[in-house]
Structure 1
Amino acid sequence: MNAPDTRHLRLLLALALAVAAIALIWLLLGATRSALELWRELAGLPAVLRLGLLALLLAAVAASAWLVWRLLHPRPRKPRPVPAPDRGNVEQRLQQLQSRKVETAALEAELHELDRRAAGEDCYVAVFGEISAGKSSLIRALAPQAEAGVDVLGGTTTRVAHHRGELAERSLTLADVPGTQEVAARERETMARDEALRAHAVVYVTAGDLTRAQDQELRWLHGYGKPLLLALNKIDRFDATERTQLLTTLRERYAAIADRVVAVRAGGREQLLRRLPDGREESVVRDALPDVADLRAALRDCLAADRTTLEQARAGAVLGRLGERLGEAEQAVREREARAIVDRYTRRAIVGALAAVAPGTDLLIQGALATGLVRELAALYDTPLRQIDLDGFLRQAALTLRTTSSVVLAIAGNALKAFPGLGTLGGGVLHAIAYGLIFDSLGNAVVQTLHEQQRFDQEQAQQTLQRLLSEQARGRVAHVAQLALQGLTRDTE
Structure 2
Amino acid sequence: MSRRLRLLLAAIAIAALLWLLFAAAERALALAQRFLTLPAWLQWTLGGALSVFAVLGMTVLWWLLRPRRKRPFKPAPDRHDLEQRLSQLHQRGTDTHVLGDELANLDRRRSEQRIYVALFGEISTGKSTLIRALTPAVTLSDARGGTTREVRHYDSELPDGRPLVLADVPGSREAGGESHETLAREEALRAHAVVYLCAGDLTRSQVDELRWLAAFGKPLLLVLNKADQWAGDELDVLQQRLRQQTRDIAAAVVAVSAGGSERFQRRLANGDIEQVERQRKPLIEPLLKALARLTAPGTEGLEPLREQAVLASLHERTGALEVQARAAEAERIVRKYSRRAVVGALAAVAPGSDLVIQGALATALTRELAKLYDVPVGEVQIEDFVRQAKLTLRTGSSIVLAIAGNAMKAFPGLGTLGGGVLHAFAYALIFDSLGHALAASLAERQALDQDDAAERLKALLADTGAARLRQLATLTMDAWRERGA
Distance 1:267 1:99 in 2: 53
Shift of 1:459: 0.9
Whether the 8 Å contact between 2:119 and 2:197 is mirrored in structure 1 is: yes
What amino acid maps onto 1:162 in structure 2?
Answer: H
Shift of 1:487: 1.2
How far the C-alpha of 1:121 sits from its partner, in A, is: 2.0
Matches within 5 A, 1:399-414: 399-414=391-406
Q: Which residue of 2 aligns with 1:98?
A: 90
C-alpha spacing 1:82/1:392, structure 2 compared with 1 (3 Å): farther
* CA shift digits 1:102-131 (9 cap, x unpaired): 111111110111011000121000001111
More moved, 233-242 vs 191-200: 233-242
Indicate the residue corresponding to 2:451 in structure 1.
459
**Alignment partner of 1:429 is 2:421:** yes
Residues 1:258 and 2:258 are matched in the alignment: no
In structure 1, the residue matched to 2:167 is 175
- Report the 3-state secondary structure (helix = DSSP H, G, I; strand = E; otherwise coil) of the residue aligned with 2:174: coil
Cα separation, 1, equivalents of 2:328 and 2:179: 24
- CA deviations over 1:374-428 (Å, ceiling 9, x no partner): 1100100011113333222222211111111111011111221233323222000
Write out aligned runs for 1:172-251 (5 A): 172-251=164-243
Distance 1:448 1:271 in 2: 61
**One-letter code aligned to 1:255:** R
Residue 298 of structure 1 pairs with residue 290 of structure 2:
yes
- Asked if residue 128 in structure 1 is aligned to residue 120 in structure 2, the reply is yes
Distance (Å, rounded) in 2 between the aligned partners of 1:388 and 1:56: 53
- Alpha-carbon separation, structure 2, partners of 1:280 and 1:157: 40
Q: Which residue of 2 aligns with 1:166?
A: 157
Choose from 304, 308, 315 the match for 1:316.
Answer: 308
* Helix, strand or coil at the partner of 1:420: coil
Deviation of the 1:278 alpha carbon = 10
| Cα shift at 1:273 | 7.6
Unmatched segments (≥5 aa) in structure 2: 1-37, 52-71
Residue type of the partner of 1:113?
N
Which runs of 5 or more structure 1 residues have no equivalent in the other structure?
Answer: 1-45, 60-79
Question: 1:198 Cα shift?
Answer: 0.6
Task: Confirm whether residue 386 of structure 1 aligns to residue 378 of structure 2.
Answer: yes
Give the 3-state SS of the residue equivalent to 2:259 in structure 1: coil
SS for the counterpart of 2:152 is strand
Report the Cα offset of residue 272 of structure 1.
6.0
Using the size of structure 2 for normalisation, the TM-score is 0.81
Amino acid at match of 1:460: D
TM-score normalised to the size of structure 1? 0.80
**RMSD over equivalenced CA pairs, Å:** 3.1
What is the CA–CA distance in structure 2 between the aligned matches of 1:360 and 1:243, rounded to whole Å? Answer: 83
Measure, in 1, the Cα distance between the counterparts of 2:156 and 2:412.
72
**Aligned in 2, Cα 1:81/1:303: closer, same or farther, shift over 3 Å?**
closer
Matched to 2:151, the amino acid is V
Whether 2:360 is the aligned partner of 1:354: answer no
* Cα drift, residue 265 of structure 1: 0.3
Q: Secondary structure of the residue that 2:457 maps to in structure 1?
A: helix
Q: CA deviation at 1:305?
A: 1.1
Name the amino acid aligned to 2:157: E
Do the aligned partners of residues 99 and 365 (structure 1) sit closer, same or farther apart at CA in structure 2, a change above 3 Å counting? Answer: closer
For 2:331, what is the secondary structure of its paired residue? helix
Per the alignment, in what secondary structure is the counterpart of residue 257 of structure 1? coil
- Provide the secondary structure at the position in 1 that maps to 2:396: helix
Identity %: 52
Change (3 A) 1:166 1:466: same
Paired with 1:128 and 1:218, the residues of 2 have a C-alpha distance of 10
Aligned to 2:62: none
CA contact (8 A) 2:344 2:357 kept: no
SS in structure 1 of the partner of residue 346 of structure 2: coil
Match of 2:131? 139
1:344-390 deviation line (CA, Å, top 9, x unaligned): 00000011012559999996552110011011001000111133332
The residue aligned with 2:484 is: 492
- Rounded Cα–Cα distance in structure 2 between residues aligned with 1:292 and 1:226: 22
Residues matched between the structures, number: 427
Distance in 1 (CA, whole Å) between partners of 2:46 and 2:216 is 55
Q: Quick check: 2:345–2:354 contact (8 Å CA) kept in 1?
A: no
- Give the superposition deviation at 1:158: 9.7
Q: Does structure 2 conserve the Cα–Cα contact (< 8 Å) formed by 1:423 and 1:429?
A: no
Give the partner amino acid of 1:450.
Answer: L
User: What residue in structure 2 maps to residue 444 of structure 1?
Assistant: 436
C-alpha displacement at 1:274, in angstroms? 6.9
Deviation at residue 269 of structure 1 after TM alignment: 2.0
Distance across 1 between alignment mates of 2:214 and 2:165: 21
* CA distance 1:424–1:378, shift in 2 (3 Å): same
* 1:26 aligned partner: none
Q: Is the 8 A contact 1:125 1:202 kept in 2?
A: yes
Q: Which residue of 1 aligns with 2:14?
A: none
1:57–1:427 Cα change, 3 Å: farther
CA distance in 2 between partners of 1:280 and 1:388 (Å) = 96
